[in-house]
Structure 1
Amino acid sequence: MDLTYSVEDDEFRHEIREWLESNLVGTFAQLRGLGGSGREHEAFEERLEWNRHLAAHGWSCVSWPREYGGRGLSLQQQVIFHEEYANANAPARVNHLGEELLGPTLIAFGTSEQQARFLPRIVAVEELWCQGYSEPGAGSDLAAVSTRARLDGGEWVIEGQKVWTSLAHTADWCFVLARTGSGPRKHDGLSYLLVPMRQSGVQIRPILQLTGTSEFNEVFFDGAVTEADLVVGEAGSGWSVAMGTLGFERGVSTLAQQIAFQRELHLIVELARSNGAIADPIIQDKIVAAHMGLDMLRLHGLRTLSGEQGIEASITKLLWAPWHRSLGELGMAVAGAGSLTVAEAPYQLDELQSLFLFSRADTLYGGSDEIQRNVIAERVLGLPKEARS
């Protein structure tokens, strides 16, 4: 990707930077730095209001084509937007799953009626979404899902369970991968359904995490229903739609994630300087390695942006997940014995403790490292498939 910025790009950077400076004020200023992985509970309603403020001024869904309500930004301008948003320490947005995953999926695979029904509400942040993929027996092996749906008159009736469903407790809708038929392969017979969450057939149980928070959930579908025409793509061809969604998941916005990583690394370095840990040569080496790793993540991310997010998505996950998990471990090493006690009773964690605990899951969610290595080995290197019992 050529990241030589034009005069127009520089003007756009100035525009978004100036807008953020003039709008992250008053009550919104208090939201700086809030939210994100492991911290989605922080000021959720206030961040929702901020998201709607962004939308009212045309700053939601910036990568979407204009005809669907977006800004139609170029790749360079998308990079600029996410960089400036992260550099401003603006609060984590609550509309990620709708804006970055479901919306682009509907643009690529949805009917005009589905696009007209859902896209404007995502742009305006009027409806929030969650992702119904993983199940107790089908985590990284997504094709093994057992949640089923059957047509009954004009409705799909859904039975089954999903797990690790991010923000299900705040979502209005869920895009659900369910088995509606059969075929010679387990990928066959899957359908991609759009299911309303606020109905009697849907039960949500928050999962208490090591961080003491509960942004993940179990979701039980017990006779849940959705309209017959709310299947994206053809019934039974949901696997290709689901894979399209996963491709959208690892796009330009991951560069903003890296700026958040940079902020975490800076916090660790400042702590090392203040408590003297910086004098330890082992700590020094780990800090240098962390800086080098972060630079590599950014360069790799920029290199892959203009290509298909196929195998590159697996490589990207294998790069950032262990790096971020190691960063959490470095934070605890720098903090020393103090990392073992909480700031306040009963369980008030500081930022580095939350980083350490939540990052333990980085190599598991979004496709485990084991699965990503298998994907690369089988699809790129042509190695035989792993033996499965």
Structure 2
Amino acid sequence: MTTIRVVGTGLLGTSIGMALSRRGHRVLLEDTSPTTLALARDLGAGEIHRDSEQPHLVVVATPPDVTAQVVARELQSWPEAIVTDVASVKQSVLDQLRLAADAASLTRYVGSHPMAGRERSGAVGAQDDLFEGRTWVLVPHESTLPAATALVRELGMATGASVVEMPAAEHDLAVAAVSHLPQVAASLVAARLRDLPDGAVALAGPGVRDVTRIAASDPLLWTQILSGNAVAITPLLGALSQDLANIQQALEALQPNGSEPGARGVLAQAIAQGQQGQARLPGKHGAAAATFASLVVVVPDEPGELGRLFTEMGKADVNLEDVRIEHAEGRPVGLAEVWVLPSALERLQEALSANGWSVHI
């Protein structure tokens, strides 16, 4: 894998080019937009592919609704190259390719999907470390050459990703649950904020920010993604709709001052099942989830103060597992909630308090 052609210089394509260029690979860029193409080049994603130089690997990073068409074209244009795509749906792309490309060319195709992204789209949102520590899914089909799968595996590893392999249909079911359904839920919750009075929105804390973070995603892109994976996500939405209906029914039975038997049990069960699901999420570096303790530190909203907090945590020999920043309404301070191992909590509290920090368990 010495020369890689990247078709599509949006967020993923540009980030892939930046990651590979940083590691010394030669990246040739292509995009239908000259402006976007030039921006990706200027950001260090590679050089513009201006001649007929044969690439070893082609990465198609175009919108999902044209992915199959572009992959078929690239397979025909570069008869010695392995071709992959990074679309977030795989079965529909493969089905379209079986109609658009000949059987011999399909042996050089390997679907793939890096499980990474940002709310900020386009080349301007690209990062050369976007895939570090993330999962990159390989989706070979029944006639894919082993050498093709090996080359795309090398691609994923070269960006710093952890590579796994699964069939297309299994992949689409999985991402429907862990990516596509959360996007719909986040967007629907965030939409409830549109017509709230300013004073009500000002009360937003970390809970609503966590739930709605991905609601800032690109509507056009997500329309294509959801349309492409409609078969997998539809039953999940049906089950979610039924759960919401059950909660609504229970709440209606409890107002005003209602005491319908079993209604409170429906609410408790919904929250408990959510706890069980959340506990299954992988922990740090993909390991089993660990239990952390947290404390809140009041941080002045001034340059260098957050860095000073982290430095003093290091001096106390306490490893930061996670952090969340919330700004206090109407006050020139921020609230930094830091997560650490439970065994380090008391030591950290004492060290920070001794250095003048306002600390709250």
RCO greater where, 1 or 2, for CA within 8 Å and sep 6 or more? 1
Q: TM-score, normalised by structure 2?
A: 0.27
Q: TM-score, normalised by structure 1?
A: 0.26
